[in-house]
Amino acid sequence: MFVDNNWYGQRTVLSKYCNKKDSYAFAAIQHGMLTTAQEELLGKRRFSIIPYLCWNKRVYKKLKNQGIKNVKIVGSPFIYLDQIINSKVISNQKKGTIVFPSKSTYEKNREVNYSLLIKETENLAPGPYTVSIYYADLHKDLSEFKKKNWKIVTFGKRSDKNFLEKNYIEISKNENVICTSINTVFFYASYLKKNLKFLLNKKDKNLILTDDKNQDSTQIFYEKEYPGILSNNLTQDQLYQIAVRELGGDHMKTPDEIVKLLGWDSNVKKIISYFISYYMDIKHYLIWKKSLRND
């Protein structure tokens, strides 16, 4: 219903899980891992009659402590997608390493030292190598990857309804996953029990060339929450258990419950959702002079 209601195809996955046509939903759906700054920004809601569907117990408690009403824990759509796709069939063919560099967004550009990233990756994990480039970074110089015969994949804009499914499949194809930041895909790959490694900035090696205080504070939070996570000292099973917690694996709902939470069982709610969605589109266009729905 909001402009980010189906970013990365979160709502689309839930519609497939429920065997329902994907349509406007009478709910706000969390579409990715919340950084520490994003969690702090969660404040009063204009339409508290509309449920906010979050992923895990920590976010739920934080919202409730702030007096936010009508919050429900449903888990990440990724865990529902795992129920839909037979990952074991894909995983039987798994080989090589996929790398997820810190990505730019409409709001913030991020520069990555691709040459150093390639060197560090090839010293850390076996090939063949794949790099995931977000659409906002496709205009950058990717020649270093091409010279080294790395496969370049992209999953489209965040408005792409198939984004999450394409992401899932590429992770499943690979045995090893490398991330240069604490991000949502790290928890996705942990949930699929991949060999996970962080390549983070060090005093003598700067992979990420753009200052990002939000990422810095998020890394501090997760290292405190799960000691050893940033230094690659946790086992695959430990990372899986963390992913279950962060993605809300213990809070999955039945298809009937999801249909009810999204208002797909009510024609009135579907109509209201359409008009509120239209209002939010106009509001954000006036603010940003751009349709965020198609970003």
Q: Are residues 98 and 225 in the same domain?
A: yes
Looking from the CA of 23 toward its CB, the CA atoms found within 13 Å total: 17
Q: Are residues 44 and 12 in the same domain?
A: yes
Q: Is 36 exposed, middle or buried (0-12, 13-18, 19+ CB in 10 A)?
A: middle
Q: Are residues 189 and 53 in the same domain?
A: no
Does the pTM exceed 0.75? Answer: yes
Determine, yes or no, domain membership for 280: yes
State the pLDDT at residue 285.
73
Determine, yes or no, domain membership for 81: no
State the pLDDT at residue 88.
58
Determine, yes or no, domain membership for 241: yes
Q: Are residues 100 and 230 in the same domain?
A: yes
160 touches 7 (CB < 8 A):
no
Determine, yes or no, domain membership for 150: yes
State the pLDDT at residue 37.
64
CATH number of the domain bearing residue 137: 3.40.50
Q: Are residues 197 and 151 in the same domain?
A: yes
What domain range includes position 60?
Answer: 7-76+249-294
Q: Are residues 30 and 169 in the same domain?
A: no
Determine, yes or no, domain membership for 1: no
Q: Are residues 156 and 183 in the same domain?
A: yes
**How many domains does the chain contain in total?**
2
Q: Are residues 202 and 268 in the same domain?
A: no
Q: Are residues 183 and 42 in the same domain?
A: no
Average pLDDT across each block of 10 residues of the chain; the chain has 295 residues. List them in order. 78 96 92 74 68 93 86 96 77 82 87 96 96 95 97 94 95 95 96 96 86 91 95 97 97 97 95 86 71 62
Residue 36 CA, chain-centre distance (Å), reads 15
Q: Are residues 220 and 96 in the same domain?
A: yes
Q: Are residues 242 and 101 in the same domain?
A: yes
State the pLDDT at residue 38.
65
Domain boundary among 246, 261, 280: 246
Q: Are residues 20 and 95 in the same domain?
A: no
